[in-house]
Structures are given as structure tokens and as C-alpha cells.
Amino acid sequence: MAALTSITPTPTSSSSVCPNFRTSPLTISSRITPGCSCPSTLRSGQASKQRLASQNRRGLIIRSAATKPAKSPAEEEWKVKRELLLEKRVRSVDAKEAFRLQKENNFVILDVRPEAEYKEGHPAGAVNVQIYRLIKEWTAWDIARRAAFAFFGIFSGTEENPEFIQSVESKFDKDAKIIVACTTGGTMKPSQNLPEGQQSRSLIAAYLLVLNGYKNVFHLEGGLYTWFKEGLPSESED
């Protein structure tokens, strides 16, 4: 008889960037059946029988390398993030209040959008540290994510920026007054349709900041969309 090979999909958790996409790395088990005629197992006498029995017991397991890395703090459940944000009394402010705080109370606006979006237009004086960046590596997992984005017609997929906190710490001390902003803003306020509010890049960034000891973190409700809509001071970079 020939060798029997079984292929079993093993689901992994979803990507933080593309939450609806799940990879299923293959687990391949190959067992040599009694009487196998494979050249590597053709032996005579009792030694051959013992070797075949030993192979049957052990089997051969090969796992795909396309498995997801361990979950990062940014990938924590939104419910957990929201609880900490509320516990640390992270305030949400609208665009006009954010502008007043920036002007009168030395708050700085931390724009966590990708660098390209920041350069197209941002609040005057805002500082950019992107919380997500274009996928850089070419591991099996990264290739799988690129394929997932391409499936949805997205050819510039992003990943969590592992240097986010390090970059923020190089610009601000832990007592800095920071208003975190992204495009839409998200919200911590419950509603009938969203009983736990809605997660956003700026709220994820705010969570990471308080998790790492920042004490004066605010959040821009309505996002930079409302800042631009209100006609508040903005600038761009060529």
C-alpha cells in the first residue's frame, strides 16, 4: 500500500487589519501504512518490521509557516480597550474644543493616519506618528495578508506599526498633553446600534498611550473629517 497523507486546515485568529479574513495554515500528517512499498522502507526481516511499526507510531507532522504571530496589545478586544480608556478618563472632544485646547492649553494633536494622508492635509501644528504602515516583510504570514487585501481589491495593505510607541516616546514625554486624531475618530459613547461605541485608529492609539504611561490623553470625536469640515486651520506638505 502507498503512504496515506491527510491534510487538515487549522484556523487561526483574524488579522487586525483585515478582520474578516482568516488564514487556514495546513497541517499535513503522513503515516506509512503496513506493507508500504516505498523504497526508503523496503527492508527484510524483523528489523524492517520494527522500523515500520516505529514509523506508524511516530508519523510525520509538517506545519505551514503561514501562522499568525502572537496577538499584540493593539489587537486586544475593543471591549477591553474601551474599559481601560474609561478607567483612565480619556476624554473625547469635538474639533472646535480640540482647536481651543491646542491654542490655549498647549495640547498637541497627534495624527496617527498613514504618512501619505498626513502630508495631503492635517491640522496646523499636528505631529504625525502612523499607527499602521504599509506591509513591509515577506514572511508567509505577510504574503497571506497581502493576498487577502488583493482579494478585496486593495493592493497597498497595512499592518500595525511596531515602532509606534517608540516613535511617540521620542517626541513626547509622559506628561505631554495629547489629542489623538484619525480620519473618522470612532467613539466610546454607547448608542442603540453600537452599545459599546465604535473602535477607530485614534482610539487604538489612545489605548496604547495610556497603557504605556501617558497621563493626559484626549481623543478627537468625529475625527479629522470634522476638523476639515469646520474649516479649522490646516496645512499640507508637498
- Each residue of 114-169: pLDDT tens digit? 999 999 999 999 999 999 877 666 567 566 665 665 655 554 566 778 899 999 99
Amino acid making up residue 157 = G
What percentage of the chain has pLDDT greater than the value 70? Answer: 61
DSSP code for 51: H
Question: Is residue 54 predicted with pLDDT exceeding 70?
Answer: no
What integer best gives the mean pLDDT of the chain?
76
Residue 14: pLDDT above 70?
A: no
pLDDT of residue 75: 87
What three-state secondary structure class fits 119? Answer: helix
Q: Quickly state the pLDDT bin for 189 (edges 50, 70, 90).
A: very high
Instruction: Say what the pLDDT of residue 237 is.
Output: 87
Q: Which of 18, 36, 38, 182 is catalytic?
A: 182
**182 assigned to active site:** yes
Task: Report pLDDT for 72.
Answer: 83
pLDDT above 90 (res 27):
no
Query: pLDDT per residue over 80-109, tens digit each?
Result: 999 999 999 999 999 999 999 999 999 999
**Residue 13 pLDDT > 60:** no
Out of 52-61, 69-78, 203-212, least confident range = 52-61
CA distance 111 to 200: 13
The 3-state DSSP class for residue 160 equals strand
Distance CA 212, CA 209 (A): 5
- Residue 35 pLDDT > 50: no
The pLDDT score that the predictor gives to residue 48 is 47
From the DSSP assignment, how many helices (H) and strands (E) are in the chain? 8, 12
Q: How confident is the model at residue 65 (pLDDT cuts 50, 70, 90)?
A: very low
Q: Taking phi first (over 0 means left), then psi (-120 to 50 degrees means alpha), and beta for anything else, what does residue 44 get?
A: beta
Confidence tier at 226 by pLDDT (50, 70, 90): very high
Confidence of residue 213 (pLDDT cuts 50, 70, 90): very high
Residue 191's pLDDT is 93
